[in-house]
Amino acid sequence: MIFFINSIMQANKSGIEFAQLKRIELFNDHHEDYRLIVRDWDPKLHPVTRAAGVPDDKLINMFEYFQDAMTLPDHPVHLADLDFGVGGTHATEEATRFLVYNAQNQLVARVNFTGDDQVVTSTELFDGFGNLYRVDYYDTRGFRTLEQWYTPDNKIGTEAWLDVHGLPVVEKFYRPDNTGELTATGWRLTDRNDGKVYMFDTVEELTLQFLNDLNAEYWSQEHPNIFVLDRGHVADWGLLHLDRPAYTVNHLHNAHASGQDPMAPIVNNNYEFTLNAINGYDAIVSSTHKQSADVERRYHPTAKLFTIPVGVVPDRLLQAPRIPVSERTFGKMVVFARIAPEKQLDQLTKAFAQIHAAVPAATLDLYGYADNNNNYAAKRAVQRVIDANHLGDAVTFKGYTTDVDTAENDAMLYGLTSNMEGFNLAIMEAIAHGLIPITYDVNYGPNEITQDHVNGRVVPYGDIDAFAQAAIEILQDPDLAQRYSTAAYASAERYSEANVWQAWRALLDDADQLWPAKLAAARLDGTAAKGDK
């Protein structure tokens, strides 16, 4: 089995989640089985993954795995389904919750719900003295998934994840530290199969148990289990300490060091552990040839390096009618990105101010949700540039959208001013729609997807004036614009389903070729014995 490992899968997805979903589509198209691993607990997980095209039987959440609750029928819970253990209760509705009282009008519970059908999401339970003592959370499919037990000073003392029968299977304990603050001190797992009890100090140790269980459950003599780690902190340590062999892959989704200096001494903290233990993995995947070369040059790993784009341009786009520049909205530049500090959209907007001054018909549409860090500092920085340059009628915050085709088939230019990238799916989608990319020379992805003076422009990093001038030259030369757009369409073929699958096929084949030797070595040291059939 091949496992794709992440921590979350939210409705508003980051590039890693989009990359995983594109990969899943690719594996589905080639009838290659997989499981999406989501490590962190989320009672709202299944509506999101189902909407993203991942059925329940292809999804494994760590907590649900231990709860034996991976595939369940949907039976949403309503107020009438709840039993509070006391008679004569009555309830009043208040916004998105019910207040439940006993016959003496003492508060028994607050019941939080969502939607017009008032599906219960959690209950807050109170004792006879009015103290909150427990909060219960309900999975969207309708079972009570988590109990949080509160201390007398109104802090979480213990958390217990329950199986479908209401019995605790995973427990998390908190104790006061030397300052009196409650901190997590341990985890207890009760095995759902044999009733054995395991104690762990950290969630990383619990995760290792989970990975070992998966590796044992899907064990095969003929083919290795392949673990592809897409979000490093989830299992970078765990994959190095498996009980029995597997083929382990660490996927670099972003620059491993400074986007401008891949040899810089300070590395991306998301990959620091991985890079220090790089030869503990069987393979390292980068999304671009340039990053693969930089990893080789810096680390000289014995782990095998693979270059596999994280995005796929579907055949429907490659075969779609090409829209001439003359039929697009003249001067419209778009960008699809979180409005976050690393995207430096204030710099893009400064460049656009120069573009708009030279070409008054030019407009800029910013698609993406705003990062809320530091009170939405990144969006406020963009707004300051808009205000200072009187661009209110030319720059528009469009918000998050999934209708990429409509926006990109109408626009003419795509702008990118990030300080680092791992690939940038958005610029790949842009060229597939015939948009002309203009980007800083930034690692990795933008300066490989964009071919300077071929399908767009790559300007020196941080050079706002050069960025603006490149766009102005394109807008003032219709023949040049059409030449770049035509080349953009053609260059998208590099990321066709056939080409990306060929790259994945090479990794899968390497895993199979390496497996006999790994299995033989494991038998010598005894780690494969438990898996032998």
Q: What is the DSSP annotation of 331-383? A: TEEEEES-B-GGG-HHHHHHHHHHHHHH-TT-EEEEESPBP-HHHHHHHHHHH
CATH of 315-494, one of 3.40.190.10, 3.40.50.2000, 3.40.50.300, 3.40.50.150: 3.40.50.2000
| Sign, CA torsion 162/116/46/270 | negative
Q: What is the Cα–Cα distance from 469 to 457, expressed in whole angstroms?
A: 10
Instruction: Give pLDDT tens digits for 156-213.
Output: 999 999 999 999 999 999 988 888 788 899 999 998 778 899 999 999 999 999 999 9
Q: What is the pTM of this model?
A: 0.90
Q: What is the Cα–Cα distance from 501 to 507, expressed in whole angstroms?
A: 10
User: E strands along 10-167, which residues?
Assistant: 35-38, 59-61, 90-94, 97-101, 107-114, 119-126, 132-138, 144-150, 156-162
Residue 18: φ, ψ to 5°:
-60, -40
Q: What is the Cα–Cα distance from 1 to 208, expressed in whole angstroms?
A: 17
Q: Give the Cβ contact number of residue 213 at 10 Å.
A: 18
Q: What is the Cα–Cα distance from 190 to 271, expressed in whole angstroms?
A: 32
Closest CA to 278 of 308, 240, 243: 240
- Give pLDDT, residue 529: 52
Which residues does the chain have with pLDDT short of 70? Answer: 259, 527-533
Q: Which helix (DSSP H) or strand (DSSP E) does residue 502 occupy? A: helix 497-525
- Give pLDDT, residue 533: 39
Superfamily of domain 2-72+205-307: Glycogen Phosphorylase B; (3.40.50.2000)
The helix/strand count (H/E) of the chain reads as 16, 23
**Intrachain domains 2-72+205-307 and 315-494 with the same fold:** yes
Q: What is the Cα–Cα distance from 255 to 262, expressed in whole angstroms?
A: 8
- Give pLDDT, residue 259: 65
- Give pLDDT, residue 528: 60
- Give pLDDT, residue 490: 97
Q: What is the Cα–Cα distance from 440 to 47, expressed in whole angstroms?
A: 38
Instruction: Give pLDDT tens digits for 59-105.
Output: 999 999 999 999 999 999 999 999 999 989 999 999 999 999 999 99
Q: Which two tokens stand for residue 192?
A: 């759902």
For the chain, give every domain's residue range. 2-72+205-307, 79-201, 315-494
Q: Which two tokens stand for residue 128?
A: 């006879």
**CATH code reported for the domain at 79-201:** 3.90.930
